[in-house]
Amino acid sequence: MRAPASSANLGPGFDSLGLSVPLYTTLRVTPQATTQVVPLGAELEGTPADESNYVYRAMQLAAKRAGRPLPPARIDIETEVPLARGLGSSAAALVAGIVAGNELLGRPLDDETVLDVAAREEGHPDNVAPALFGGIVVATLDKLGTHYVRLDPPAHLGVTVLIPDFELSTSKARAVLPKEYSRADAVHALSHAALLAAALSQGRLDLLRHAMQDYIHQIWRAPLVPGLSDILEEAWKHGALGAALSGAGPTVLCFHDTREPTAPLHTYLHSVMKRNGLEGRVLDFPIDAAGTLIERA
**Which amino acid would we find at residue 102?**
N
DSSP type of residue 177: S
Tell whether residue 88 is among the known ligand binding residues: yes
Tell whether residue 86 is among the known ligand binding residues: yes
Instruction: With beta carbons less than 8 A apart as the criterion, state whether 152 and 135 touch.
Output: yes
Instruction: With beta carbons less than 8 A apart as the criterion, state whether 238 and 265 touch.
Output: yes
Tell whether residue 195 is among the known ligand binding residues: no
Strands 242-245 and 73-79: unpaired
User: Distance between CA 289 and CA 131 in Å, rounded?
Assistant: 10
Coil, strand, or helix at residue 149?
strand
**Cis upstream peptide for 250 (omega within 30°):** yes
Tell whether residue 49 is among the known ligand binding residues: no
Contacts of 71 (CB under 8 A, 6+ apart): 31, 104, 105
User: Distance between CA 282 and CA 138 in Å, rounded?
Assistant: 26
Q: What are phi and psi of 277, to 5 degrees?
A: 70, 30
User: Distance between CA 162 and CA 140 in Å, rounded?
Assistant: 27
Tell whether residue 27 is among the known ligand binding residues: no
User: Distance between CA 104 and CA 30 in Å, rounded?
Assistant: 9
User: Distance between CA 217 and CA 14 in Å, rounded?
Assistant: 8
Coil, strand, or helix at residue 183?
helix
Residue positions forming the annotated binding site for ATP: 82-92
Annotated binding site: 82-92
